[in-house]
Every structure is written in C-alpha cells, then in structure tokens.
Amino acid sequence: MAIHELSALLWRERELLDLLTFKLEEEQLLLTAGKSRWLPHGTREVEQVLGHLSKAGLARAVEVAAVAEQWGLPAESSLGELASSAPEEAWADVLSSHLNAMQQQTATIKELRDSNEQFLRAAVRSTQETMADLKPAAGTYDSHGRTGSQGRTADSTPSRLFDQQL
C-alpha cells in the first residue's frame, strides 16, 4: 500500500532533517569557536544532507500523489490535505504528526541558518576591518625622500606582530 511507503519516506525525511539540524549546529560551534579552518568541511556536509533531502522530497511527492489518487484526491494534494482527508483516523493522526514534526524541524533549521549567517557576516566584517587596518597608509615622499602621510613619521606608525606560522 502506498500509504505505508509514504509513512516510511516521511520518517526518513525527518531523520534527514534531524541530521541537517545537527550539521548546522556543528557549523555554528565552529563559527563561535573561531575554527574557520573546518568550515569548508562542515559546509560540504550540510550540502550533502541537503542533496539527500532533495531526493527524499521528490520521492515523497511521488508517494503523496499515489496516495492522493488512491483516496480520490487530486495528485497535487499536500500532506496536510491528505491528513485531513484520510479515510481512517489512524492515518490522519500519523500524517498530521509527521507534518507537525517536519514544520517544527524546518523552523529550527531556519533559525540555525539565520544565526549562522549572522556569525558569518560578523566574521567577514571583522576580517575586512582587520585587513583595512593592516594596509599601509598612502603617503607621499617629502623633500628628503622619506615617505610620510600628512606629517606622520615612520616612528609614529604602529608596529604589528604577525604569526609566522599562518
């Protein structure tokens, strides 16, 4: 029966949403700890989970259409419409539970995504400010052949320390 297959696919999709939540939380931990070296790995893992979710969503759409046709509904019916039109209350409860859980997971994922985006923007802004501070001040040559910026001498330029291992 297509409804059993649909329920199994919904469980799989929920597991993938949980995994995506975990991967986004991992990314957030990397961002807050300043471990930007590992961000490409974390981002790649998030993208892999998103690819699996895309395939699962397509499989779910196919099964929803099959169940909808069996129940006399339009093939393009939503999961919510299936739940409200289920011929047995047990299936209505199962589908409603899946739908509610997936909506909650999606809201959590959106919050994590937005939070991670804010962390990334702050990191980019901080990096840009640091880079701007490191640029030598544009100056001109004076009559003695020394560079100086509006009366600044070489002695007034602040020293900078760099980690040689970076």
Per-residue pLDDT of the chain (166 residues; tens, 9 = 90+): 799 999 999 999 999 999 999 999 999 999 999 888 899 999 999 999 999 999 999 999 999 999 999 999 999 999 999 999 999 999 999 999 999 999 999 999 999 999 999 988 887 887 788 777 766 555 566 777 776 554 455 455 555 555 556 5
The reported pLDDT for the residue numbered 147 is: 66
Instruction: Supply the pTM of this predicted model.
Output: 0.76
The reported pLDDT for the residue numbered 129 is: 81
The reported pLDDT for the residue numbered 55 is: 97
CA distance 59 to 5: 10
User: Which of 21, 64, 126 is CA-nearest to residue 29?
Assistant: 21
CA distance 22 to 28: 10
The reported pLDDT for the residue numbered 122 is: 85
Contacts with 69 (C-beta within 8 Å, 6 or more apart), sequence order: 75
- Chain position carrying tokens 């959590």: 108
Let me know: does 89 contact 105? Beta carbons within 8 Å: no
Residue 89 burial class via C-beta count within 10 angstroms: exposed 0-12, middle 13-18, buried 19 and up = exposed
Reduced 3-state DSSP string for 48-96: HHHHHHHHHHHHHHHHHHHHHHHCCCCCCCCHHHHHHHCCCHHHHHHHH
